[in-house]
Amino acid sequence: MKWIHAYNGVRIAAFAFALFGLGGCIEYGLETTLNPDGSGVRYEKMTVEETEELSWVSPSDFQALMHVTENEGWRYERETEEDDTVHVFRRETRVRDLASWAGLSGGVRISGATSVGARSSVGHVSLGDVHFLNAVRAETGHVAEGSSFTYRETFYWENLNDAMIEHLLVYVRNTLDAQYPGLASEQRGEIIGLVRGGLWAAVDRGLFDASGDRQEEILSAFVERTAEQAEKVVRQRYPGADEEFFEKMLRQVYEDEDRLEAFIEGQLPGVQLAANSAIVFRLTMPGRVTASNAHDRDGTTLVWEFGPGDAVTTPIEIFAESVVER
C-alpha cells in the first residue's frame, strides 16, 4: 500500500493548546442509528487523501495510531475519487440492546505515541497513556407521550494536556539549573511544583479559553504570583535572586510555540494525525427528536462536525433526546 500524506505542522498558539492542521486530509465519518427497541448500528468510514507533498508516517504506524487495523474490525480499500487516490477504512458494529451501547466506548481511539514511543515518559506522564477517546451512554425512560430515549457520546483527550505541561516543565528545570546550579533538589522540586500548580490554577480560571484582556489578566496573575513565590525559594540559596528572571522564564514557557510543536512532532505523531482529522457524526434517534445540541440536521438525522483538536481544552459531547409515542 503506497502511503503519501501531507502535513503542514501543528501550531499551538498562546498556550491554549489549540491544534491546527490540514483538518480534512483525514475524514472520519460516524453514522449511528438507535432503534426503538434499544438496538442499533454504527457505520464508520475513515477516508485519507493521498498527496504528493510529504510522506511522514508509515502505513503500519498510521493504522496503529488511528486504530484502524484488521484486528480491530476495520476493512481497507484503495479507491479513486475524481482521479485522486484515497485510502478508505470501514467498520460496522451492531449493538444488541440498550445496555450494549456502552460497549462502543473506546472504539474511537487515536494513540498519541507509537508502540516504541509509548515506552517513554515526560515527567510523571507515560506517553503511552496519551489517547483521544470516546465514551457512549444510551438510556430510556417513560414520559406521558410514551418512551423517551437519551443518547450521549463524549470525545476527549486523556493525558495530553498533562504530557504537554510536563514537557514545558522540562524547560523550567533546565533554565533553573543553568541560572542557579547550586539549588538543592528540594528547592528545585518546590519551584517546579509551584509552576505546575500555577498553570493548572490558571487553566481552571479559563486561561485556555480566554482571549484579549481577559487572557492577559489570567496570565499576568499566574506569572506574577508564581515568580514571587519562586524568588523566595531561590533566595534561600541565592540572596540576590531577581523576580524579573522568573517572570521572563514563565512568559517564555507560555508563549514559545516551537517548543511544544517540536515535542509533538518528535514524540506524539498521533496528535499530528488527530490535528489533521475532521469528524462528521450523524445520529438517527428513534421517534421524534425533542432536544439536541446538533450543529445541523439532515432530514431525521442529526449532524455534528468537529475535530479532535476541538476537544483539547474541553470534551466534545454529542447529546440528543427523543420520544417514541404510544
One pLDDT digit (tens) per residue for the chain, 326 residues: 333 233 333 333 333 333 333 344 889 999 999 999 999 999 999 999 865 433 567 888 999 999 999 999 999 998 877 777 788 999 999 999 999 999 999 999 999 999 999 999 999 999 999 999 999 999 999 998 889 999 999 999 999 989 989 998 999 999 999 999 999 999 999 999 999 999 889 888 888 777 889 989 999 999 999 999 999 999 999 999 999 999 999 998 877 778 888 899 899 999 989 988 999 999 999 999 999 999 999 988 999 999 998 998 889 999 999 999 98
Distances (CA, A) of 292 to 108, 248, 317: 21, 46, 10
Residue 221 lies in a domain: yes
Task: Tell me: do 189 and 302 sit in the same domain.
Answer: no
Residue 5 lies in a domain: no
Task: Tell me: do 59 and 181 sit in the same domain.
Answer: no
**Of 261, 277, 298, the domain-final residue:** 261
Distances (CA, A) of 109 to 122, 216, 264, 311: 21, 35, 18, 13
Residue 304 lies in a domain: yes
Backbone angles phi, psi at 178, to 5 degrees: -70, -40
Task: Tell me: do 291 and 244 sit in the same domain.
Answer: no
Distance CA 47, CA 271 (A): 18
Task: Tell me: do 53 and 91 sit in the same domain.
Answer: yes
Task: Tell me: do 247 and 305 sit in the same domain.
Answer: no
Residue 2 lies in a domain: no
What's this model's pTM, rounded to 2 decimal places? 0.87
Task: Tell me: do 169 and 314 sit in the same domain.
Answer: no
Distance CA 189, CA 212 (A): 32
Residue 250 lies in a domain: yes
Distance CA 119, CA 209 (A): 32
Hey, what's the torsion of the CAs at 236, 241, 247, 251, to 10 degrees? -90
Q: What is the domain range of residue 207?
A: 162-261
Is residue 162 a contact partner of residue 125, using CB atoms and an 8 Å limit? yes
Residue 3 lies in a domain: no
Number of structural domains (the chain) is 2
**Of 235, 261, 287, the domain-final residue:** 261
Task: Tell me: do 185 and 134 sit in the same domain.
Answer: no
Distance CA 96, CA 102 (A): 11
**Of 245, 261, 277, the domain-final residue:** 261
